[in-house]
Amino acid sequence: MYKLLTKNGQLFAVVVGAISTLIVLVTIMTNSNKGLLDMDDAAKRSGEIASTGILDAATTITMFLLIVAVAAMLIFGILHLVTNIKGSLKWIIAIVGALALFMVFKNTADHEATGNIVETMRKFNVSESLSKGISGSIKLTGLLLIFALGSMLVMELMNLFK
């Protein structure tokens, strides 16, 4: 299966994408009533268009393909991890390090208690724990962004002097 996908994976992706697009377009064109999509104010009437059900095929296909992609990613990722533990060790260490940094950032985050953000947190029912998790995620994302930019700069400098 792996060899088949490495050889023809892009072709399969293009064919599946083309077939999915064709199914969605045919569904929309055959189910659209009275030219709903041809009207000038179609964007303003998006709720009415969505309630007709003509976009259900697009949503269903998108969700199915997303589930297949996530399942394939997990299956092949775990399969590669199990078959090549020594080669995957640096990625395992990196993931464990990122999780440890997230926990540090989450546990050291301050819960906002004043200002406009408190009203927004109440409006969307954000608990203190979730607020700290969001803060930790943002801090980890910023740190990974800095690391990625630094790595990019170092690699470009190394390529410049080769």
Q: How confident is the model at residue 20 (pLDDT cuts 50, 70, 90)?
A: confident
Question: At residue 35, what are phi and psi to the nearest 5 degrees?
Answer: 65, 40
pTM, whole model, 2 decimals? 0.58
Q: Looking at the predicted structure, is the pLDDT value of residue 35 above 60? A: no
**pLDDT value of residue 119:** 85
CA distance 119 to 106: 21
Q: Looking at the predicted structure, is the pLDDT value of residue 34 above 60? A: no
pLDDT digits (tens, 9 = 90+) for 92-104: 899 999 999 999 9
**pLDDT value of residue 23:** 86
Average confidence score pLDDT of the chain: 84
Q: Looking at the predicted structure, is the pLDDT value of residue 132 above 70? A: yes
pLDDT digits (tens, 9 = 90+) for 53-83: 677 777 888 899 889 989 988 998 888 888 8
The set of long-range contacts for 93-101, using a CB threshold of 8 Å and a minimum separation of 24, is 98/140, 98/144, 101/140, 101/143
Domain ranges of the chain: 1-83, 85-162
Between 39 and 61, the more confident residue is 61
